[in-house]
Structure 1
Amino acid sequence: MADETSYGWAGKILRVNLSTNAITTQPTDPYKEYIGGMGLANKIMYDEVPAGTDPLAPENKLVFAVGPLTASGVPLAGRTTICSLSTFTKDQLLVDAHCGGMIGAKIKLAGYDAIVLEGAAKSPVYINIVDDMVEIKDASFVWGLGTREATETLCRREGTEACVATIGPAGENLLPYSCIINARNHSAGAGTGAVMGSKKVKAIVVQGNGSVHVKDPQAVADLSDYMLRDIIGSNNNHVVPQTQQEWAEFYDKGSRWSARSGLTWGMAEGEPIDTGEPKPGELNTVGYRCMKSVYDLGPDAEKYTIKMNGCHGCPIHCYSDLRIDRTGELGGKATAGNTCAANFPFKYMNGILKTDIDDKSEDAVIWNTVIGTTIDELGLWCNYAQLWRDIAHCIKDGVFDRVLPEEEKARFDWQRIYNNDPTIMVELLNEIAKNNSEIAHIAYGPYHWTERWNDKEWFDKKPSQLINYRGWPVHHATECFGQVGGLYNMMFNRDDMIHSAVNFQGCGLPIEIKKAIAAEVWGGEDAVDPDKNYTPMNDHKANFAWWSIVTDVLHDSLTLCNWTWPMTMSPTKARDYRGDLDLEAKFFKAVTGEDVTTDDLYQAGAKIMTLQRAATVRGMTKADGTMGETDMRNVHDTMTAWPFDHDPDKQPFTEGTIKIERNDFQTALGMLYDKFGWDHEKGCPTASCLDAYGMTDVKEDLQSLNLLP
């Protein structure tokens, strides 16, 4: 008898129609060619949400999707993709939000590969899922609550084993910069909170009591041990320690392998726990390597650190658990936890405002945790720190003074920032989250507010860090291997969130070793340059940029954490510091039983990227306002001026600058388009490339719309 078990995939997609209260399931099988996660979610959106749909209309959908490796025992397989239409960039195109935490594993263990929210409820509801029992319940008693209070209330009602993914007041009030929070502080941005709020859904509450069928559990266990023993580094796969240590041949002060003897989890239960000097090969000390609280917030964060924490299936633990009573007294929350841009907002503001407060001082720790816990409670999103830069600019350059009504200006004395009073940010963020004032437009995104407030030149100033005229900021852009980072920052409809390249850049290994690895992976040592010492575009850099994109998309589809994957390098000297780029394929085979190669998976990533590219072509508007635009090069992939114009006393391709050159970047775009099989001049999918990817249905759709070159 044939084995009909679904290995890896749960096998079902859950659909909840809020307009009709219909709850249905469908098989996952038709979507498997797009793997899961981002691929599955993008396919549902492409097939079912017409171009030009208002993101806040009932016709839009919100797709929570996980992948075949989620909750399977594979390390760092705890991510979730949440896909919908953008609320904050031009043309409101297809975007993906990604979050860690526990929600993805709970969805999978409940028996689903995706949850699709459709339509809109008439009054506030939450979706309660306990395995195959799914209910739409009244949420009036939690509507209006912050994300933490709502999470606690719903867990007390439905069970503490459940994971809650909820919106806060920002999402309820349809603020474009709003997010979904799960497991206290794990956020999915890109305006998904507003989309969820438009559907009157306060939360999804998931308790999964099942398991994931794994084809070869012993192989998964053996591969996991091998990966933790020989291959993985720290957060961002940094593979050398931050300080000189007895075991290490190299060290690098920028490394996120920040553990060292004498550095403690200062507020650990009982007594401080020394992070020590965890060495490669020690499976049980991997979780001590990343002391992210101190790395992000400075040395004063040590005494407030309870522990480093992580998402489901994560051995690295880049998430900071802190307790700071002073933060609670100032209007934030006494317990804090987050990672990345939401964890150190004051640094971004202070870079523009230039207060007397040191970014790594104890005062800055207080500022960061006051702001960070406030935005999380409100379910407000910072757009990879763009909100903080925009607020600081509008204060310093007098934009708020120029555009705000007098009654709003009277509420905010910006001198309080310089007087070291972080309570002003609590007041400001709460006002923004209400979405009923002029100042709230700062959280509609710079594409909107710079037009409204006549400040479009902000896009072309380096302090803005805006990288594309359609409204998103850098995410490891031209400072990361020049043209390579610039290219992948153009490809999506929001900041790219790609870490494949920056992980390699910041791993801590000497440039000579990086170049040797580059020759093996991307075809030549000239694929990479030393920082701030770029060379003109070449084919190996195009390989590197293509690989950076497809590995990120692959990870968001499997779902794996691209903040540490892929395993390009290793901390193990006996391996010559080489990683293992076949690990995704090895794990995929062990979990699903399907015999795929790394190249097969990379091609799947390229196919998924091409699907989103096709959705973008279909959804962009021409200058005359008509729908559909094939000229991606000149309409979509439009880098702002400052990467080309800053450092006026330096020329591109000279040491000491991240400046790039316009004609060279146009060459780079064409070379990258060629790698995907897209049209060389326009950068859009062609009929032949869609045939090659097996996307006949997408080809026929674009043909019917006259959107193939």
Structure 2
Amino acid sequence: MADEKSFGWTGKMLRVNLTTGRITTEPTEPYKAYIGGMGLANKIMYDEVPAGTEPFDPENKIIFAVGPLTATGVPLAGRTTICSLSTYTTDHLVVDAHCGGMLGAKMKMAGYDAIIVEGASDKPVYLAIHNDDVKIKSAAAVWGQGTRATTEMLSRLEGTRTCVAAIGQAGENLLPYSCIINSRNHSAGAGTGAVMGSKKLKALVIEGDKPIYVADPKAVAELSDYMLREIIGSNNNHVVPSTQQEWAEFYDADSRWTAAKGLNWELAEGGPIETGEPKPGELNTVGYRCMKSTKDLGPAASAYTIKMNGCHSCPIHCYSDLRVEGSGEAGAFETSGNTCAANFPWRYAETILKTGISQKEMPDEYVTFNAAIGTTMDDLGLWCNYASLHRDIAHCIKEGIFKRVLPAEEYNMFDWSKLTPENADPSVCVQILRHIAQNDNEMAYVAHGDIVWCERWDDMEWFDNKASTMINYRGWPVHHAAECFGQVGMLYNMVFNRDDMIHSAVNFQGSGLPLDLKKAIAAEVWGGEDAIDPPKNYTPMNEHKANFAWWSVVTDVLHDSLTLCNWVWPMTCSPTKARDYRGDLDLEAKFFKAVTGQDVTTEELYEIGEKITTLQRCNTMRGMHTDDFRNVHDVATKWTFTQDPDIPAFSEGTVKLDWEDWQKALSMFYARFSWDEQKGCPTAAYLDAHGMSDIKADLQAEGLM
């Protein structure tokens, strides 16, 4: 069956056992009920990785998976889901990492919907994949190297058209905060680098030139043009510009549609390129809308910007390519490229250290600091856990934690005076990060997760503190939480076993449209204008907020399974005034039909997203040995209820939660998923109704249902 023409899916998965060296393929067909990407990978993890498995056990697997829309010409279908066991949270439950770059497209063009890596090698290896030619090769020459040198060496060896997805020293040394880097600076976090390191797997090197078949190529092309012409905005689907422009009815300073007259890629090849005022409807100027470098690093970053870059099939290009000489002089790298937290760490450190190295007061130094830290982290394959590492290191310096707990010899390795306004020297940060990545010293525990180091160093007060942003007692931080639509943001921050990475809601929040227009859209999509509130002016929980929270989760999971970029999808809004700024939430279903030939509705796709979420919930229930999610898993840290002590909840100016309202929110959210309203666990009736009776039987046998 795998050799038959398959629309969307390749129909084949690759399995590599590093213990035995056995390489096999198997059909995708049994997993299509879970679409692909996150759904497919989570089902394999449920079926094949027993509860109680530790992340570094050979029995753990790491699964790279893509969806039916990957590499088909669908815009923003360039993501890859990577599934394994968490290295840094309680019980080491199943987690998903996600990355852009070129990895997913290369996998698909090589002929695979998924790559399942199991077992462990006794010596460093890499996986070389050239279509059907798959080999396990020695990585002795690159073991110990950073991701940049590894990528260059393996690209020269295997071919410059390959995509290299590699780990650095952090992953090799089994540091829980480690990641995988592909295409130089596209990262997949959640400790996946350490899982690869435990298997002695340095890299995947992939090249493919097989065709990707779609059922209706003409429809794919027409839908793509329609989407680019009328629907899509900028990064996070912000649909108004950040400055007042002649064509725009609205503007919002916080928008990521940052293009403007006089704003240039100053270091562009051949001379500066102006982003200008790209208008809706201009297909060829969509890529100028997002100037993420200046959005993250301030106006000074334009002088260092070579261009904005992007992932496979991305028209938005939110990835900043910079050249910062000062970063190289600090012992890091001149050339920088990233799109998220690793690209602006000093924003977090400055709020704690108060060194004066701020975007406003020292703009060039600010750019240099961020480039030096970001490029070092990416080369080490070191993950920030949505900036927790940056915040924690700064806190440990400021409060004297390092001075208290580190051996004197280790503490004195660093010139701490360099972290002052007088010096503004990022080289000490580079040294600290490289030291941590070795994972053979006391300081390295700061990258084992707050759940570890706060207890080890007797600083649990920091764990349950707004400044740390830890949102859940099992060990992960906020990711667009209460500050983004109050209870809605808090609910989806509880669902997964890591920071949620859900952008469906924050894309809508930051779209730039006026509140009255967003409320009208909210009524159409989630059933009532009261699904949303003004920022920091929240009202009690209601059923429309439950709908909004449910939708935020299932759309994100759907995108991670198709695989689409949830940093822009879904298309809730549009920049087109003639559409009254309404987007098109049926686009996923339209593209799915055009690519696969299967006629599905948006509601049916949402139902599958709900099913995949429930699948991971089942795996979590099995891993934590209880079905009581309300009191064990979905437990928000106390600071979310005690912050702003002089301001009552539901008052303007605070994102504080009310405990009783939060309990109501959980019950309504559970009910919207058809989970048990008291415990928050999946029900037997739900599993039977959704073709998951085998999972029901497993859980009942373990006394968990």
Q: Shorter-normalised TM-score: what interval? A: over 0.9
Aligned with residue 363 of structure 1, among 359, 365, 371: 365
Q: Cα offset for 1:47?
A: 0.4
Q: Cα offset for 1:454?
A: 1.2
Q: Is the 8 A contact 1:350 1:359 kept in 2?
A: no
* 2:697 matches 1:700: yes
**Superposed structure 1 runs of 4+ greater than 4 Å apart:** none
Q: Cα offset for 1:660?
A: 1.2
- 1: distance between equivalents of 2:679 and 2:461? 27
- 1: distance between equivalents of 2:678 and 2:65? 34
Show the counterpart of 2:16.
16
Q: Secondary structure at the match of 1:15?
A: strand
Moved more, 689-698 or 574-583: 689-698
Q: Cα offset for 1:4?
A: 4.9
User: In the alignment, residue 441 of structure 1 is paired with which amino acid?
Assistant: Y
Q: Cα offset for 1:643?
A: 1.4
* 2:315 matches 1:315: yes
- 2: distance between equivalents of 1:459 and 1:503? 28
Q: Cα offset for 1:358?
A: 1.5
Show the counterpart of 1:623.
none
Q: Secondary structure at the match of 1:251?
A: coil
Q: Cα offset for 1:432?
A: 0.3
Q: Secondary structure at the match of 1:126?
A: strand
Show the counterpart of 1:547.
551
Show the counterpart of 2:415.
413
Aligned with residue 687 of structure 2, among 662, 668, 690: 690
User: In the alignment, residue 98 of structure 1 is paired with which amino acid?
Assistant: H
Q: Cα offset for 1:434?
A: 0.4
Alignment size in residue pairs = 699
Q: Secondary structure at the match of 2:549?
A: helix
Correspondence list, 1:105-254, <5 A: 105-254=105-254
* 2:662 matches 1:665: yes
Correspondence list, 1:367-516, <5 A: 367-418=369-420, 419-516=423-520
Q: Cα offset for 1:237?
A: 0.1
**CA displacement, residues 35-75 of structure 1 (integer Å, 9 cap, x when unaligned):** 00000000000000001101001000000000000000000
* 2:283 matches 1:283: yes
Q: Secondary structure at the match of 1:84?
A: strand
Moved more, 644-653 or 255-264: 644-653
**CA displacement, residues 453-483 of structure 1 (integer Å, 9 cap, x when unaligned):** 1111112211101100111000000000000
Show the counterpart of 2:646.
649
Q: Is the 8 A contact 1:542 1:668 kept in 2?
A: yes
Show the counterpart of 1:104.
104
Show the counterpart of 1:48.
48
Correspondence list, 1:570-609, <5 A: 570-609=574-613
User: In the alignment, residue 287 of structure 1 is paired with which amino acid?
Assistant: G
Q: Is the 8 A contact 1:46 1:615 kept in 2?
A: yes
User: In the alignment, residue 422 of structure 1 is paired with which amino acid?
Assistant: P
Q: Secondary structure at the match of 2:24?
A: strand
User: In the alignment, residue 39 of structure 2 is paired with which amino acid?
Assistant: G
Q: Secondary structure at the match of 2:115?
A: strand
Show the counterpart of 2:76.
76
Q: Secondary structure at the match of 1:259?
A: coil
User: In the alignment, residue 538 of structure 1 is paired with which amino acid?
Assistant: N
**CA displacement, residues 171-224 of structure 1 (integer Å, 9 cap, x when unaligned):** 000100000000000000000000000000100000011121100000000000
Show the counterpart of 1:62.
62
Q: Give ranges in structure 2 of 5+ residues lacking alignment.
A: none
Moved more, 525-534 or 351-360: 351-360
- 2: distance between equivalents of 1:351 and 1:62? 36
Q: Cα offset for 1:414?
A: 2.5
Q: Cα offset for 1:398?
A: 1.5
Q: Secondary structure at the match of 1:644?
A: helix
Cα RMSD (Å) of the superposition? Answer: 0.8
Q: Secondary structure at the match of 1:464?
A: coil
User: In the alignment, residue 283 of structure 2 is paired with which amino acid?
Assistant: L
User: In the alignment, residue 149 of structure 2 is paired with which amino acid?
Assistant: E
Show the counterpart of 1:624.
none
* 2:553 matches 1:556: no
* 2:331 matches 1:327: no
Report the TM-score, using the length of structure 2 for normalisation.
Answer: 0.99
Q: Cα offset for 1:541?
A: 0.1
- 2: distance between equivalents of 1:695 and 1:454? 44
**CA displacement, residues 616-635 of structure 1 (integer Å, 9 cap, x when unaligned):** 00001xxxxxxx11110010
Show the counterpart of 2:532.
528
- 2: distance between equivalents of 1:64 and 1:663? 41
**CA displacement, residues 270-291 of structure 1 (integer Å, 9 cap, x when unaligned):** 1100001000000000000000
Report the TM-score, using the length of structure 1 for normalisation.
Answer: 0.98
Q: Is the 8 A contact 1:63 1:117 kept in 2?
A: yes
- 1: distance between equivalents of 2:627 and 2:474? 16
Q: Secondary structure at the match of 2:203?
A: strand
Q: Secondary structure at the match of 1:481?
A: coil
Moved more, 688-697 or 83-92: 688-697
Q: Cα offset for 1:327?
A: 0.9
Moved more, 552-561 or 445-454: 445-454
Show the counterpart of 1:625.
none
- 1: distance between equivalents of 2:111 and 2:289? 34
User: In the alignment, residue 607 of structure 1 is paired with which amino acid?
Assistant: K
Q: Cα offset for 1:304?
A: 0.7
- 2: distance between equivalents of 1:488 and 1:138? 42
* 2:89 matches 1:92: no
- 1: distance between equivalents of 2:386 and 2:359? 18
- 2: distance between equivalents of 1:456 and 1:611? 33
Q: Secondary structure at the match of 1:681?
A: coil
Q: Cα offset for 1:107?
A: 0.2
User: In the alignment, residue 208 of structure 2 is paired with which amino acid?
Assistant: G
**CA displacement, residues 401-421 of structure 1 (integer Å, 9 cap, x when unaligned):** 211111111112323211311
User: In the alignment, residue 342 of structure 1 is paired with which amino acid?
Assistant: A
- 1: distance between equivalents of 2:640 and 2:289? 35
- 1: distance between equivalents of 2:563 and 2:460? 37
Q: Secondary structure at the match of 2:117?
A: strand
- 1: distance between equivalents of 2:324 and 2:703? 58
- 2: distance between equivalents of 1:568 and 1:13? 33
User: In the alignment, residue 375 of structure 2 is paired with which amino acid?
Assistant: T
Show the counterpart of 2:634.
637
- 2: distance between equivalents of 1:615 and 1:416? 47
Aligned with residue 517 of structure 1, among 514, 518, 521: 521
- 2: distance between equivalents of 1:414 and 1:479? 34
Q: Secondary structure at the match of 1:462?
A: coil
**CA displacement, residues 478-525 of structure 1 (integer Å, 9 cap, x when unaligned):** 000000000000000000000000000000000000000000000000
Q: Cα offset for 1:300?
A: 0.8
